[in-house]
A and B are shown apart, each in its own frame.
Chain A
Amino acid sequence: MAAWTPDQPLLRLADVHKSFGAVEVLKGVGFDVMKGEVVCIIGPSGSGKSTILRCINALVPIDRGSILVEGQEVNDPRLDKLALRRKVGMVFQQYNLFPHKTALQNVMMAPLQVLKQDKAEVEARAHRLMAKVRLQDKEQSYPGELSGGQQQRVAIARSLAMNPELMLFDEVTAALDPETVKEVLVTIRELAEEGMTCVLVTHEMGFAREVGDHIYFTDRGVIVEHGPPKEFFARASDPRTRQFLDQIL
């Protein structure tokens, strides 16, 4: 296979199928994400949004189809999963910080232990990342001492510490109260403005409209409709999309 070049999609999904037992969750999903693009996936619960993200970094194996990250096939038994996950960062709805480590240690752990990078260098980067998410005064706090929004920002910093090419956000504000949602969204927007490639699963329509380059609407395992945010929100034509948007907006 020819080497990946930046003019090709950073992420390409084609005809992805995935079943959990008898339930087919993804029935042929496909889309491209170019480097620096911010893609938002919206849709009703149970439409397979989160599963798409989990498939991209191989947390969940797919049954059929192809997922290419920088030209590397994820749906390949010989895939070096650890190499893939160094390129793909993921942030979860439930933060999933490591409760026995301080915020700073959470950020430093993976680069130190997985990438075996130099400690002083990792620590300097961790300090920068904590400042970037505006939590430099919480570096020594344990996750249990932080609010939900603060924990989620530490989780973002923790993923960024691996210098990923692609960030996946899985309903990262769904467990937060409306006030703290804002501080997390600000962090993600700054990231997007710096040119980070992001795939977000979100229910924040306002944020998707503002930050997203492209919106995909999924329902029952397929992409029903997609387009740039302006067009998408103004001219969505499929009845399922309309119904969903009417409920949310």
Chain B
Amino acid sequence: MSGGRILPVILPPGARGATGGPWRAPTLRARHGAVLVLALLLAVGAAEAAAEPGRPSILGTLWRWTPLLLEGFVFNIAISLLAMAIGTVAGLAVGLGLISPNPGVRGVSWCLTQLFRNAPWLVLLFFVMFLLPFEFRVGGVTIPFPGWIKATLGFALPVMANTAEIVRGAIQSIPYGQWEAAESLAFSRRRTLWTIILPQCVKRMLPPWMNLYSLVAMATVQASVVGVTEMLTLVSEVHAAEGGRPELLAPLYGYALLCFFLYCYPIGRLTARLERRFQVRI
């Protein structure tokens, strides 16, 4: 054997992959964004070439509609942030329910988690859109309940279920000795959970939770299917307003793609960084 005294079962450090060095998950990098920009420019160039002479330039068209499109994008962000906030608070409650000593609470939490975690987001969205009324009447006062709020609730449901699983997983990953030590110091279960277990969970929950947020931000475009005016709806309306020219399709949707990438990319990078940091310092 060429390895000399190296035991056959214990490989030398760095020998795991063919390239040497420990395996590392591929991460999103800035050059991936550059590829996107390049693709968008190519699409613009191609469209420019295909356009009939005398029409306004593609870049000019994009520029002209930018304020409206960005307004739509802000709406996407608002929906995602609000859905995340509602879903996180509800998910924390359901996640704590999943580890409740009360079998009834545990059962209900389990059903909620499984139902909303394993249903397609779009189906949930349709359910919420068509089951909730468009306005409430409370003592003669009519409170409108617009579509975008309903969509937000629709996205909050899967966020809740996924957050619940993140919370449960984090709590159960804390060594049992922590519970025993707290118990032997006369801490009640509730106090142990809030002052000893959960503070240690925050670090562990943060990366998957941020990952979930990226998914929600990108999923908000599904709201266009149920008639909420957000960026994707506006892109399609802009396209129609420009006379439905086919050469505009790629630049317009590429533009939307780029907006989402620029928003989610830093979140992805930060998540990866936090994960690496927490990996070393547990």
| Residue interface bits B190-212, CB-to-A below 8 A is 1, else 0 | 01000110011000000000000
Q: Is A114 an interface residue (CB 8 A)?
A: yes
Q: Do B195 and A113 touch (CB < 8 A)? A: yes
Q: Is A211 an interface residue (CB 8 A)?
A: no
Q: Which residues of A contact B281 (CB under 8 A)?
A: 144
Q: Do A57 and B184 touch (CB < 8 A)? A: yes
The contact size tier of chain A is: 20 to 34
Given the known interface contacts A114-B187, A114-B191, A162-B186, the answer about A96 and B199 at a Cβ–Cβ threshold of 8 Å is no
Closest beta carbon of chain A to B251's beta carbon, Å: 51
Interface-side segment among A22-30, A34-42, A62-70, A86-94: A86-94
Cα–Cα, bound, A96→B175 (Å)? 9
Q: Is B180 an interface residue (CB 8 A)?
A: yes
Closest beta carbon of chain B to A79's beta carbon, Å: 13
Q: Is A12 an interface residue (CB 8 A)?
A: no
Partner of A98, one of B180, B186, B196: B196
The residues in B between 157 and 191 inclusive whose CB is less than 8 angstroms from any CB of A are: 175, 177-178, 180-188, 191
Q: Do A114 and B181 touch (CB < 8 A)? A: no
Closest to B185 in A: A110
Closest beta carbon of chain B to A155's beta carbon, Å: 8
Partner of A92, one of B180, B191, B199: B180
Partner of A59, one of B175, B180, B188, B195: B180
The contact size tier of chain B is: 10 to 19
Provide the main secondary structure of the chain A interface. mixed
Provide the main secondary structure of the chain B interface. helix
Closest beta carbon of chain A to B171's beta carbon, Å: 14
Q: Do B195 and A109 touch (CB < 8 A)? A: yes
Q: Which residues of B contact A125 (CB under 8 A)?
A: none
| Residue interface bits A70-86, CB-to-B below 8 A is 1, else 0 | 00000000000111011
Q: Do A85 and B177 touch (CB < 8 A)? A: no
Q: Is A159 an interface residue (CB 8 A)?
A: yes
Q: Do B177 and A96 touch (CB < 8 A)? A: yes
Q: Do A114 and B185 touch (CB < 8 A)? A: yes
Given the known interface contacts A92-B177, A94-B177, A113-B195, the answer about A100 and B184 at a Cβ–Cβ threshold of 8 Å is no
Cα–Cα, bound, A53→B181 (Å)? 13
Q: Do B185 and A158 touch (CB < 8 A)? A: yes
Q: Do B187 and A98 touch (CB < 8 A)? A: no
Q: Is A99 an interface residue (CB 8 A)?
A: yes
| Residue interface bits B225-267, CB-to-A below 8 A is 1, else 0 | 0000000000000000000000000000000000000000000
Q: Do B178 and A96 touch (CB < 8 A)? A: yes
Q: Which residues of A contact B191 (CB under 8 A)?
A: 113-114
Q: Which residues of A contact B200 (CB under 8 A)?
A: 98-100
Q: Do B181 and A85 touch (CB < 8 A)? A: no
Q: Do B177 and A89 touch (CB < 8 A)? A: no
Closest to B184 in A: A90
The residues in A between 145 and 162 inclusive whose CB is less than 8 angstroms from any CB of B are: 155, 158-159, 162
Q: Do B184 and A86 touch (CB < 8 A)? A: no
Q: Which residues of A contact B183 (CB under 8 A)?
A: 59, 85
Closest beta carbon of chain A to B34's beta carbon, Å: 40
Q: Which residues of B contact A96 (CB under 8 A)?
A: 175, 177-178, 180-181
Q: Which residues of A contact B185 (CB under 8 A)?
A: 85, 109-110, 114, 158-159, 162
Q: Do A110 and B186 touch (CB < 8 A)? A: yes
Partner of A82, one of B180, B186, B195, B282: B186
Q: Which residues of B contact A90 (CB under 8 A)?
A: 181, 184
Cα–Cα, bound, A85→B178 (Å)? 16
Q: Do A85 and B186 touch (CB < 8 A)? A: yes
| Residue interface bits B19-39, CB-to-A below 8 A is 1, else 0 | 000000000000000000000
Q: Which residues of B contact A109 (CB under 8 A)?
A: 185, 195
Q: Which of A88, A92, A110 has the most CB of B within 10 A?
A: A110
Closest 5 CB pairs of A and B: A96-B181, A96-B177, A85-B186, A90-B184, A110-B185
Query: Interface on B for A, CB 8 Å cutoff?
Result: 175, 177-178, 180-188, 191, 195-196, 199-200, 281-282
A-B contact pairs, 20 of them (CB 8 A): A59-B184, A83-B186, A85-B183, A88-B184, A89-B184, A90-B181, A92-B177, A92-B180, A97-B181, A98-B182, A98-B196, A99-B282, A100-B199, A109-B195, A110-B185, A113-B187, A113-B191, A114-B186, A114-B187, A144-B281
Query: Interface on A for B, CB 8 Å cutoff?
Result: 57, 59, 81-83, 85-86, 88-90, 92, 94, 96-100, 109-110, 113-115, 144, 155, 158-159, 162
